[in-house]
């Protein structure tokens, strides 16, 4: 087909879109109360994945998800992902992963929605103003654990499919769902499930969308990258037991002093990582990226006030965003075996183990980082000529994730945000790690987009988590619009058998 024909199709299509947009928007507006009630039912389930005493609630939550998708007419499966072993060696069934499919038209693109319905712990006594498992509305905000992370977004994607169904409009894309119940504790069992279904459930998936993060400011955002993390243990062992500093101090070489000495060689006071070979691996900041950061809405003073500090590592927006998202950093988390109780015990600990982590960004490779860190620590330790022994191990090696923002999926995402909020989204990254995006990318080879909504002050993982009732509708609308935008991308690409014209005349 020539470009002229394509343009005229897109023009007709946008007229059809305009009509559908209005119908869908009206439907969603009229059903806001239903969406609130659906969220109320889900929030009432204390699906805390970290509390083994709540495991039956978590199983019940997964059943509710499966039931909802079944009622919508999807082909639904509850996938058994096995058991988890608790620290006391007891074994406990993991919550099933629910998958569902709406539409199998091979001429359409298939969008797979990932979400989770487990939550962080919450108790009224933690300082909640309302019962965390009784959704409570105050000034248009709906307070409840899991409201924003991640129950409302999961429901919004489902309600988006439902809106098409109820209006008897054909879904512009095939939609699949993968909903899990262990995200808050590390997505136990999910990676194996994705690997196992790589050539079945995931074989026809074209794109994956995740809505499990927040905006950076009041401006809508799309997330295209997350940092990874390498977590290390560095243990120094010395005398065979703890010693009294009055009796032995001055005669023994203390493991804690060795440990602190080597930890101090990881990063400089100005934030420069001192381990050779780490900074060298970081992808350089391009001019385009620098310009993008300049345009992002981010208030340095607000950020400072929120944390309660008088000075940050950098004092301008671009450096701060860059170091939050796309540069590695070292954080020291704690020292096991160190005396940390109140009081003044004069102990010389015989064995201490430091925990620190290094956030990962392109083009760092956790395997290389492990080697470099271990070599570096052993080399500085050797210079101390200590009789103590050092062991270094890496216990987590999560890779960073970065999407290609030129990909048509991002064109569709940006257009959808613009259509719903009438502004261009900020393209942002997350400084934290969402390993599942990288896993999806590596295992399925598909493009992933993160489309958050609201959330910058939603209090995820914190007291008084909430989502605005208007975000419920906006989110749903964003989802339906993304479906339509993807249809446009589908036509532009026109990579599937039939011509775009055939498809267009049959569908509408
Ligand atoms: C939830 O809170 C409302 C308002 O305080 C109260 O009327 C209702 O009984 C509560 N529901 C449950 C299940 O506790
Ligand atoms: Zn989440």
DSSP 374-389: HHHHHHHHHTTT-SSE
Whole-number Å distance between alpha carbons of 54 and 121: 10
| Structure token pair of residue 481 | 């619009």
Whole-number Å distance between alpha carbons of 371 and 333: 21
What's the pLDDT at 487? 76
Considering the domain architecture, whether residues 201 and 257 belong to the same structural domain is answered as no
Considering the domain architecture, whether residues 488 and 438 belong to the same structural domain is answered as yes
Ligand 2 centroid distance, CA of 154 (Å): 10
Strands 174-180 and 110-116: parallel
Whole-number Å distance between alpha carbons of 264 and 269: 9
Rounded to 5 degrees, what are φ and ψ at 406?
-85, -10
159 is a domain residue: yes
- Which residue among 374, 398, 422 closes a domain? 398
Ligand 2 centroid distance, CA of 499 (Å): 40
DSSP state of 273: B
Ligand 1 centroid distance, CA of 138 (Å): 14
Considering the domain architecture, whether residues 194 and 218 belong to the same structural domain is answered as yes
Angle at 36 between CA 169 and CA 99, to 5 degrees: 60
Considering the domain architecture, whether residues 199 and 80 belong to the same structural domain is answered as yes
Give residue 421's domain range. 3-226+400-507
Please identify which of the residues 180, 183, 206, 426 carries the catalytic annotation.
183
Q: Which is it for the CA torsion 124, 130, 136, 138, positive or negative? A: negative
183 is a domain residue: yes
**Catalytic residue check, 118:** yes
Considering the domain architecture, whether residues 255 and 202 belong to the same structural domain is answered as no
Considering the domain architecture, whether residues 343 and 423 belong to the same structural domain is answered as no
Q: Are 74 and 101 in contact (CB under 8 A)?
A: yes
* Three-state secondary structure call for residue 145: coil
Ligand approaching nearest to the C-alpha of 185 = 2
135 is a domain residue: yes
Whole-number Å distance between alpha carbons of 208 and 202: 10
Ligand 2 centroid distance, CA of 362 (Å): 23
Ligand approaching nearest to the C-alpha of 149 = 2
- Domain CATH code at residue 249: 3.30.70.360
Bridge partners, residue 273, by sequence: 267
DSSP 307-332: HT-S--S-SSHHHHHHHHHTS--EEE
Rounded to 5 degrees, what are φ and ψ at 335?
-130, 110
Helix (H) or strand (E) holding 392: strand 389-398
Nearest to 172 by CA among 282, 29, 319, 20: 20
Ligand 1 centroid distance, CA of 134 (Å): 6
- Domain CATH code at residue 116: 3.40.630.10
Helix (H) or strand (E) holding 412: helix 408-421
- Which residue among 349, 364, 398 closes a domain? 398
What's the pLDDT at 87? 82
Considering the domain architecture, whether residues 248 and 178 belong to the same structural domain is answered as no
Q: How many separate domains does the chain show?
A: 2
313 is a domain residue: no
Please identify which of the residues 46, 48, 57, 118 carries the catalytic annotation.
118
Alpha-carbon Rg for the chain in angstroms: 26
What's the pLDDT at 45? 98
Q: Are 411 and 447 in contact (CB under 8 A)?
A: no
290 is a domain residue: no
Considering the domain architecture, whether residues 354 and 466 belong to the same structural domain is answered as no
* Three-state secondary structure call for residue 102: strand
Ligand 1 centroid distance, CA of 135 (Å): 9
Bridge partners, residue 279, by sequence: none
Considering the domain architecture, whether residues 89 and 197 belong to the same structural domain is answered as yes
Ligand approaching nearest to the C-alpha of 130 = 1
Angle at 356 between CA 353 and CA 360, to 5 degrees: 150
Burial of 154 (0-12, 13-18, 19+ CB in 10 A): buried
What's the pLDDT at 1? 45
Ligand 2 centroid distance, CA of 103 (Å): 27
pLDDT digits (tens), the chain, 508 positions: 455 655 666 666 666 677 888 899 999 999 999 999 999 999 999 999 999 999 999 999 999 999 999 999 999 999 999 999 888 899 999 999 999 999 999 989 999 999 999 999 999 999 999 999 999 999 999 999 999 999 999 999 999 999 999 999 999 999 999 999 999 988 999 999 999 999 999 999 999 999 988 888 889 999 999 999 999 999 999 999 999 999 999 999 999 999 999 999 999 999 999 999 999 999 999 999 999 999 999 999 999 998 899 999 999 999 999 999 999 999 999 999 999 999 999 999 999 999 999 999 999 999 999 999 999 999 999 999 999 999 999 988 889 999 999 998 999 999 999 988 899 999 999 998 888 888 999 999 999 999 987 667 888 888 999 999 988 889 888 988 888 888 777 656 544 433 333 333 333 2
Q: Which residues of 166-186 are buried (b: 16+ CB within 10 A; e: fewer)?
A: eeebebbbbbbbbbbbbbbeb
Rounded to 5 degrees, what are φ and ψ at 301?
-65, -40
Burial of 42 (0-12, 13-18, 19+ CB in 10 A): buried
301 is a domain residue: no
293 is a domain residue: no
Ligand approaching nearest to the C-alpha of 183 = 2
Ligand approaching nearest to the C-alpha of 41 = 1
Whole-number Å distance between alpha carbons of 373 and 276: 8
Ligand 1 centroid distance, CA of 458 (Å): 22
Ligand 2 centroid distance, CA of 116 (Å): 7
* Three-state secondary structure call for residue 165: helix
| Structure token pair of residue 63 | 């059943």
Bridge partners, residue 466, by sequence: 143
Whole-number Å distance between alpha carbons of 317 and 49: 37
Considering the domain architecture, whether residues 384 and 432 belong to the same structural domain is answered as no
Whole-number Å distance between alpha carbons of 222 and 210: 10
Indicate the Cα dihedral angle 456, 448, 436, 220, nearest 10°. Answer: 0
- Which residue among 398, 430, 449 closes a domain? 398
What's the pLDDT at 496? 43
Q: Are 252 and 238 in contact (CB under 8 A)?
A: yes
Q: How many CB atoms lie within 10 A of CB 121?
A: 15
What's the pLDDT at 12? 62
Considering the domain architecture, whether residues 111 and 142 belong to the same structural domain is answered as yes
**Catalytic residue check, 105:** no
242 is a domain residue: yes
Whole-number Å distance between alpha carbons of 508 and 15: 11
Considering the domain architecture, whether residues 272 and 354 belong to the same structural domain is answered as yes
């Amino acid at each position: 087909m020539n470009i002229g024909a394509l343009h005229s199709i897109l023009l007709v299509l946008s007229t059809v879109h305009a009509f559908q947009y209005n119908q869908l928007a009206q439907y969603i507006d009229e059903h806001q109360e239903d969406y609130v009630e659906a969220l109320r039912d889900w929030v009432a389930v204390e699906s805390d994945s970290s509390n083994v005493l709540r495991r039956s609630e978590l199983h019940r939550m997964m059943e509710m998800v499966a039931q909802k998708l079944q009622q919508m007419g999807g082909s639904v499966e509850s996938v058994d992902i096995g058991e988890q072993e608790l620290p006391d060696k007891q074994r406990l069934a993991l919550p099933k992963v629910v998958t569902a499919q709406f539409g199998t038209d091979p001429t359409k693109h298939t969008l797979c929605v990932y979400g989770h319905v487990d939550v962080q712990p919450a108790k009224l006594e933690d300082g909640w103003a309302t019962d965390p498992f009784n959704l409570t509305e105050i000034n248009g905000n709906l307070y409840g654990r899991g409201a924003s992370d991640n129950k409302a977004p999961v429901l919004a994607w489902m309600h988006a499919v439902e809106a098409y169904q109820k209006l008897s409009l054909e879904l512009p894309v095939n939609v699949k769902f993968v909903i899990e119940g262990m995200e808050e504790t590390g997505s136990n069992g999910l990676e194996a499930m994705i690997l196992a279904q790589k050539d079945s459930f995931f074989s026809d998936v074209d794109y994956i969308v995740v809505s499990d993060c927040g905006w950076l400011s009041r401006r809508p955002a799309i997330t295209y990258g997350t940092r990874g993390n390498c977590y290390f243990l560095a243990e120094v062992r010395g005398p065979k037991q703890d010693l009294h500093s009055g009796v032995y101090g001055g005669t023994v070489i203390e493991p804690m002093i060795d440990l602190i000495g080597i930890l101090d060689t990881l990063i400089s006071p100005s934030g420069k990582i001192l381990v050779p070979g780490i900074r060298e691996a970081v992808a350089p900041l391009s001019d385009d990226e620098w310009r993008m950061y300049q345009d992002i809405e981010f208030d340095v003073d607000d950020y400072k006030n929120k944390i309660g500090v008088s000075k940050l590592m950098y004092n301008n927006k671009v450096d701060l965003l860059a170091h939050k998202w796309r540069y590695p950093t070292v954080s020291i988390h704690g020292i096991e075996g160190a005396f940390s109780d109140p009081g003044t015990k004069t102990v010389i600990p015989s064995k201490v183990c430091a925990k620190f982590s290094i956030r990962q960004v392109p083009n760092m490779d956790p395997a290389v980082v492990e080697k470099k860190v271990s070599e570096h620590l052993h080399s500085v330790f050797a210079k101390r000529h200590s009789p103590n022994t050092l062991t270094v191990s890496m216990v987590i090696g999560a890779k960073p994730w970065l999407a290609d923002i030129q990909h048509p999926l991002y064109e569709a995402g940006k257009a959808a945000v613009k259509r719903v909020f009438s502004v261009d989204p900020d393209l942002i990254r997350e400084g934290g790690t969402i390993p599942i995006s990288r896993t999806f990318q590596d295992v399925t080879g598909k493009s992933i987009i993160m489309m958050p909504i609201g959330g910058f002050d939603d209090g995820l993982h914190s007291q008084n988590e909430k989502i605005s009732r208007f975000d419920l509708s906006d989110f749903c609308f964003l989802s339906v619009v993304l479906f339509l935008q993807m249809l446009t991308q589908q036509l532009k690409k026109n990579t599937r058998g039939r011509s775009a014209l055939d498809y267009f005349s049959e569908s509408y």
